[in-house]
Each structure stands twice: as C-alpha cells, then as structure tokens.
Structure 1
Amino acid sequence: MGTTPSPSRGRTGRPASADGTYALVAGGGIGGLTAALALAGAGREVVLLERAAEFTEIGAGLQVGPNATRMMDRLGLLDQLLDVAVLPRYGVMRHAVTGEPLTRLDLGDAFRTRYGYPYVVVHRSDLLGILVGACRAQPLIHLENNKLVTAAWADEDGAGVRCSDGSSYRAQLLVGADGLHSVVRTLVSDDAPVPSGFVAYRGTLPMHEVKTEVADQDVVLWVGPGLHLIQYPVRRSEIYNQVAVFRSDSFARGEAEVGGVEELTERFATTCAEVQKHVSRIDRGRNWPIYDRDPLDTWTHGRAVLLGDAAHPMLQYLGQGACQALEDALALADAVRGAGGDLGAALRGYEDTRLRLAGLCQTRARMWGQVWHTGDPVTLALRDRFMRGRRADDYTELDWLYAERTAGAAAERAAS
C-alpha cells in the first residue's frame, strides 16, 4: 500500500523514539490507525508500530453501524468510506433449517433519520486503506512497520515498549491497540482470551457468480442451532461476503486442529438447501476459532491505556468490534484535548466515557450469540415469535448503541 517511513525515523526526519513524542500506538489495525489520526487531529505527535511488513486486515466484510459512520465523519473520511461501501436496504434474519424469514430491519431513510448516519457494509481492507492513506498524509504521524512489540512498561511519568528487533520506544502515552493477544494489556490484567467454542469460515465471491441467487442490497443472517451464516455485498456490490460460524466439538475439546472442513460440512448438513449451497462456496483453506475476553474494571496502568480489541475483544454478534474501536479512538483524543496537559485526567475521562458501554457490548454480544444459536425448543419458540411480531422500523432495541449521546449516558440507559 505504498512506501512506509524508515524504521528509524519518522516523517519529520527526527528519531521516532525521541522522548518528546507524545503518543506511542502499538498496533496498526483499524483501532490503532484511528487513534493515531484522532490524536494527531488534537495536535499530538504519534508514532505507530505495526508488526507486519504492510498494513493488512485479515477477513473480508465489516459492518459499520451509525455510531461508527459518525466517527468517520468526524475524521473527515465518511465520503471516502461511502465511495467504496454498500448501503444495505434491510437487515434480514432467516431460519437456517427451515429457510423461512423471521424478521427484517429497515436500514433506509427511517433508520438514517433516527440516528443521523447510515449503516454500511465494507471490505475490511478498503476501510484500512482509507485510514492508512489519511495517516500518511498527516505530518504528525510516523508509521513504522516490522515492529513486533514484545514487552511494555508504564508508570506515572511515561511509558514505552521493546520490539523483537531490539529497538525500544518511549513516549508520554502508550496506546495499546494490539488486538486480542495484546502485550500492552498485560500491564493491566493477567487474564487470558476466553474460547467461545465456535469457529468461523470466511470468504468472498465475485457478485456475478451469485447475482441471481441473493438479495444483493441486504444483509442476510441465517440462524440455527449451534450455527449461523451471514452474507452481504461489499466493495460497491462487486463482491459478496459470507461468513459461516458453527459450534465446534474439536474446539471445545481443545484439539490442536479445530473446526475442520468435515466438521463444517457435518454441522451445516441439517440446514436448508439454500444455506448448504452458499456454505459450499466459502473458501475452506483457513478457519478462525473465535475468542473474546471478560470486561475489565480499568483500561489504564500508569501512562498506558488500551483501546479496541486490546481493551474489549467481543464476539461478532452485535457487529461492533471495529465500531467500538473507532469510538474509543475519538473519545481518547477528546479526553486528551479536554484535559489540557493533565494526562492522568485525560485517561480517567476516557475510561469514564467508554469503559462501561464497551463492556456492555461484550456481554450483550455473548447473549445475542446464545439467542442466535439456541437449540432449546422453548427459547426457539419465544425467539421466533418475538422476531416475527416486530416491525421493520422498530429501533427501540438499538437506541442504546446507535443514538448520538455520550457513551456513559448510553450505558446508563441500556442498564436501566
């Protein structure tokens, strides 16, 4: 994705590890890049360290709710996002075994009027490319690749990291955006990722291969006992994204090789013919065991702070992993700007704004996964009856997540 700055010097030509650097961001995914952009927008110099040789995203499709498109607008990048994204008409839920429709959510004008911003679906690499381009255009941001963070430290006077190549960096603030297996998180907690027991297969197809078989302007979710399939178009409807997820017995048993192709086929053998046909087309060369972590009571240690999956990795059932990272990044920059030179006050303000709501997303995502995947006859009957009875423009269950307000107020309302 173009050239990157020298690993020893940033854009200004001065050593990127100089003590005058305000913020050091560990991790060059969506959360880390957005944090760098937001902090630079607040006038702070940022060094970002990415472990890979290039900026890449694993996976394909990404759902971006109005809480996140609102953040992209604040960054001045919403038009670029809309240029490569798809604005779906409906979110549709169907029964994976019977094939019958259960409910749909109107994502059109009424939705955008209520929340002020659209719901879009986009290829992960397209969003990442937009963020990388914006970072490279910002003189206060220094991007460094091939920097695998292996150790981190922080106290009340500063923070820093050491990388696998022997280099070390320090700054006034260390932002841990280094994902599920975050090194920076070890400063805050000694917890471990929590296995969900589910495995995902992901892939895309050229739209012309499925054009006559799919609703090409909808997000379609098929739910069944112990499994689901989600589908939607991305990249201006040029390609079709699919993710098949199932409860894996081999994953639950802790085997070295989990969720193999035979297990995928066996689990989806109980679904309707349409679902089986779609699943048969998904790339089977790789799968992803799914983990999250329990919510934390704090994201800070000294002058180190967490965001995104490093702070609150969550299951995918709310479509909020990247969205919450975007909100984190803007909230952190707002707190830094609002606190002036008091970094301790900025970190406390950031936690006050974000910690509870993101934790709520973690726990509610787990609950929604249970609802999607239930095999209990009573729960199934109640779920399906509720879903069939709701209106397409009933957004009351989404206000806590999507409405524009402070995150703390959103969490208070959701918990009440």
Structure 2
Amino acid sequence: MMLGTEPAVVAGAGIGGLTAALSLARRGVAVTVLERRTALEEAGAGIQLSPNASRVLIDLGLGPALARQAVEPDRVVIRAVGSGRTIGGIALGRHMRERYGAPYWVIHRADLHTILLDAARSLPNLRLLVGRRVESLREENGQALVGIATASNGQDVLPASLVVGADGVWSAVRPALGDGRAPQYRGYAAWRTTIARAAAPAAFRDANETGLWLGPEAHVVHYPVSGGRKLNIVAVLRGDKPLDGWASPGERDQLLHRFRKAAEPLRGLLATAPEWLVWSLYDLPASRRWSRGRATLLGDAAHPVLPFLAQGGALAIEDASVLARELAARPGDVPAALALYEAARRPRAQRVQEGARSNARAYHLAWPLSMARDAVIRRLGPEGMVARYDWLYGWRPE
C-alpha cells in the first residue's frame, strides 16, 4: 500500500499510536512515530482488553506475547463499598471467548506498551523519534508538512503523506485541524497503583477475578496483571477541582480517609499500597470533524472516553484497525479514505462516550436509587450483564 512518496507520520507513541503505526507498517507503509517524551515509558496501571480490542492485537500477530503477560479473569464480582455484600457478577473467561471469539484480557499498561514497542522496533519501515513535539501542520503541493520541536529546542519540518494525531486528550494535532475546544473536567479523580499480588490480603491473592466495588461518590476496580504476579487497583473519587499536571502523587492517608467507612476487606486492600498516582478525568464530545486533507485524529485525541466502561484504549485500537483498512482500500486518495474512516468511527465513539458517562452515574448512586440498580444487576445475572454489551464486545474490524 502506497500513500505517497513521503512516510506516514504518527504523533504519539502510546497504545493507539503504536497500534496505528504497526497496522500501517505491516501493510508496507513507511511510518515515522513522533513522541514528545524523551523516554518511552507508559505511566499508569492496568488496562482492559475486551474482545473488540484483543482480536485486533491478535490479528497483528501479538497474541502469544500478550498471553504471556495478560490475565484472563473468569468473572467480575460486583460488591457494595460500604457493606461488602455481593451485588452480582459479569461472566468473563470462557463465556467471552465463546460468545465473541476473542479473549477478555487484563494487562499492565507498561507490559502492553513494551509488547507494542518490541513489535514496532522489529519492522524496518517503522521509525521512532522521541523528544519531538508537533507544533504546526499545513499542506502544500499534495503533501502534509509537520512542524516539530525537539527536546533540545531545535525545530524541523517533516513532510508526510499522512498525519495521524494519536497524542491523547491534550492533543497538539487537534487544534491544528481546527478544533480548539478544551477538554472538560468531569469531577472525578482516578487513584491508580499496582502491588505485588503476594502482598495483598489473603482474600485477594488467589481468585482469578476482577473486583468492582460500587458506592456513593466512589468506586474501586482491581484485577491481576503481569501474568498474575501483580494486582492493579483503581479507586475513582469525586473531586471538586482538577489536579495540576497529567499525573500527581496521591496522599495515601487522604485516600484511606475517604474509604474509612468501606467494608473491612476493601479498606485492607487499599491500605496495602504505599504509593498512588492520581489522574483528573477529562472528557470532550467527539469532534464534529476530526480529519482534514491528509491529517486525522485517533483515540483520545479524537474522542476522549471516561474510564467507566474500560474502553478508552480499546477504542483507540479499533480506530487504528479501521484507519489502516480504509487507507488500504483507497491508497491513491488519502483524504477520501480519512473521511470514510471518520464516518465509520464517529457514531461508535459517541455511543461509547455516552455509555461511559451513564456508568459514571450508575456506579455512584446513593440509597435508595442504588437499590434499583442492584436489582437490575441481579435480575440480568452474569451472562445477561454481558449480553447488554453485544454491540460493544462483538465489534469486528470488517
């Protein structure tokens, strides 16, 4: 597949950017990935790879590497933060494989990032440039010109046949395409950590499951990662003001104080982690137009997703697959391919965004409204809870 005489440029070496770069490079496109950071390290904790995302990565040949590091939980167990009682569950494991033909994996974000980086570095037509920040974007004579700044304050212009902005919620490419909106703080902060699984309280060491604890103004998710050696923990709390910076160290005592009335097993789990990082959660409705000429957006740069449906990374992986497909179908007309890519992705991104916002409301309901939510969870049962999301997990790139 030839897009032009110049390489495709992907801004951002995160999960979406690397998946896009791999998807293009495996089709014969020369790709240059720009990353503003000088070290290719992925911050954060765990990420959930539901079947709609895992099938894309498996098709890229990453299945064996992922299977060594990922965990495939048997179920989600939903509990009440305050009492610890079991509300219901969601069937994962074999049920997901049989229903959707692909696994529901959970994995440490750094492990996934390493697997993607290793695959990228193995391809001769894929180049990684770190310490490069996109500053401008224009088109001349049928090609895109990307203005970049280096970590040493140098400047350069890189010609490109295609530009993909995969540089996250605070994208530099998005305003260059005419969308100057600022992401909106949604009143939540996510506290994230990982601990050695052997150091967790006994009740959390052996069960091959994801835990979801629901309560007013807060919820907690935990699951094993790194081949089962570690436990990923995320606590989402209401917060009046956003924190400065992308991720900030969290005060452990502050978190424990917020959960002082939680059930003892949950309090014990949270107390096990000595260090936390905190992210303020931002949202932005999917842009009415995220492609222009030979440039487009992908993942959170196009449609940031709150984490209440665990689909931010999955949507970026889906985007990468569809983008490569549309470009392969129309290699001589990049603008037309990007228009079709955007048209295919926007309705789904909007539906996932709304689903995440809806879950944010449902997760944090106070009594008595929480009683109705819990009754629905029990009535549906573990397999019925999955069936509600056939539209999400059953997605395929064809």
Task: Tell me if TM exceeds 0.5.
Answer: yes
The separation in 1 between residues aligned to 2:242 and 2:162, in whole angstroms, is 38
For residue 343 of structure 1, the aligned residue among 334, 344, 347 is 334
Contact map agreement 1:188 1:300 (CA 8 A) in 2:
no
Deviations 1:297-356 (A, max 9, x none): 222022110001111111101111111111100110000001131112211221122111
Confirm or deny that 1:63 pairs with 2:53.
no
The separation in 2 between residues aligned to 1:101 and 1:182, in whole angstroms, is 41
Q: Secondary structure at the match of 2:181?
A: coil
Contact map agreement 1:54 1:145 (CA 8 A) in 2:
yes
The separation in 2 between residues aligned to 1:239 and 1:58, in whole angstroms, is 16
Match of 1:115 in 2: 100
For residue 170 of structure 2, the aligned residue among 181, 191, 201 is 181
Q: Which amino acid aligns with 1:91?
A: V
The TM-score, its normalising length taken from structure 2, stands at: 0.92
Confirm or deny that 1:34 pairs with 2:19.
yes
Q: Which amino acid aligns with 1:115?
A: Y
Could you tell me how far 1:156 is from its partner in structure 2?
Answer: 8.4
Could you tell me how far 1:249 is from its partner in structure 2?
Answer: 3.0
Contact map agreement 1:339 1:346 (CA 8 A) in 2:
yes
**Residues 188-203 of structure 1 aligned to structure 2 (within 5 Å):** 188-203=178-193
**Residues 76-155 of structure 1 aligned to structure 2 (within 5 Å):** 76-154=61-139
The separation in 2 between residues aligned to 1:212 and 1:154, in whole angstroms, is 59
Relative distance call for 1:93 and 1:160 in structure 2 (3 A) is: farther
Q: Which amino acid aligns with 2:295?
A: A
Match of 1:208 in 2: 198
Contact map agreement 1:175 1:307 (CA 8 A) in 2:
yes
Q: Which amino acid aligns with 2:106?
A: V
**Residues 10-409 of structure 1 aligned to structure 2 (within 5 Å):** 20-154=5-139, 157-165=142-150, 166-186=155-175, 187-210=177-200, 212-214=202-204, 216-251=207-242, 261=252, 263-284=254-275, 286-375=277-366, 377-394=367-384, 395-405=386-396
Deviations 1:386-410 (A, max 9, x none): 1122222223211010114468xxx
Could you tell me how far 1:270 is from its partner in structure 2?
Answer: 2.5
Q: Secondary structure at the match of 1:391?
A: helix
Contact map agreement 2:52 2:396 (CA 8 A) in 1:
no
Relative distance call for 1:405 and 1:164 in structure 2 (3 A) is: closer
Relative distance call for 1:156 and 1:79 in structure 2 (3 A) is: farther
Relative distance call for 1:203 and 1:259 in structure 2 (3 A) is: closer
Contact map agreement 2:292 2:335 (CA 8 A) in 1:
no
Could you tell me how far 1:21 is from its partner in structure 2?
Answer: 2.0
Could you tell me how far 1:285 is from its partner in structure 2?
Answer: 5.0
The separation in 1 between residues aligned to 2:145 and 2:351, in whole angstroms, is 30
Match of 1:6 in 2: none
Identity fraction in percent: 37
Q: Which amino acid aligns with 2:77?
A: V
Contact map agreement 2:77 2:212 (CA 8 A) in 1:
yes
193-202 or 259-268: which moved more? 259-268
Contact map agreement 2:250 2:277 (CA 8 A) in 1:
no
Relative distance call for 1:406 and 1:326 in structure 2 (3 A) is: closer
Relative distance call for 1:213 and 1:346 in structure 2 (3 A) is: same
Relative distance call for 1:348 and 1:91 in structure 2 (3 A) is: same
Contact map agreement 2:191 2:250 (CA 8 A) in 1:
no
Could you tell me how far 1:154 is from its partner in structure 2?
Answer: 4.5
Contact map agreement 2:318 2:397 (CA 8 A) in 1:
no
Gaps of 5+ in 1: 1-18, 408-416
Q: How many residues align?
A: 386
Contact map agreement 1:335 1:350 (CA 8 A) in 2:
yes
Q: Which amino acid aligns with 1:346?
A: A
Q: Secondary structure at the match of 1:81?
A: helix
The separation in 2 between residues aligned to 1:129 and 1:139, in whole angstroms, is 18
Contact map agreement 2:199 2:272 (CA 8 A) in 1:
no
Q: Which amino acid aligns with 2:96?
A: F
Gaps of 5+ in 2: none
Contact map agreement 1:353 1:406 (CA 8 A) in 2:
no
Relative distance call for 1:339 and 1:183 in structure 2 (3 A) is: same
Deviations 1:160-207 (A, max 9, x none): 322223122120111000011001011241111110111121111111
Q: Secondary structure at the match of 2:83?
A: coil
Match of 1:8 in 2: none
Contact map agreement 1:69 1:119 (CA 8 A) in 2:
yes
Structure with more strand by fraction: 2
The separation in 1 between residues aligned to 2:260 and 2:137, in whole angstroms, is 47
Relative distance call for 1:137 and 1:226 in structure 2 (3 A) is: same
Q: Secondary structure at the match of 2:214?
A: strand
The TM-score, its normalising length taken from structure 1, stands at: 0.88
Q: Which amino acid aligns with 2:21?
A: A
320-329 or 283-292: which moved more? 283-292
